[in-house]
Amino acid sequence: VVVDALRGMAWRCSASGNADLVRNLRKAGVIHTDHVEQAMLKVDRSNYAPQNPYTDAPQPLGHQATISAPHMHAHALELLANHLQPGMRALDVGCGSGYLAAVMARMVGIEGQVVAIDYLSPLVALSLENVRKEDAALLDN
């Protein structure tokens, strides 16, 4: 039921910029908490999706991988929100572009830790390259 609801609203959440995308996800009821909203606002998807970063649909990364649709990231973050509080630790398996790990890192703060892994070395390199664009401080902590 939740997946059907999310699928039906995906086309309505697309936007022309990160702030509008997050606002649309909140308006559509995908984002419920300020904690998730603030973290997603701090990590611009344009640094992680090579094309159409604000379209609410999966986007290709290469290597037969995609970055998930924004509504799926928001939904996952809401489900994990109680476990992504300041000072906590998280593991992102299949880090792809690094986007979800960066948002999770914003949620756990500098006292927390997020470890992101992928079995494809090119995606690990892509993830690090993407995080360095505007979120490099996350790698220093």
DSSP β-bridge partners for residue 115: 91
The DSSP H or E segment spanning 117 is strand 113-117
Query: 14, 46, 68, 121: which one is catalytic?
Result: 68
127 is catalytic: no
Q: For the chain, first and last CA: distance in Å?
A: 39
**Does residue 121 contact residue 128 with C-beta atoms inside 8 Å?**
no
Annotated catalytic residues are: 68
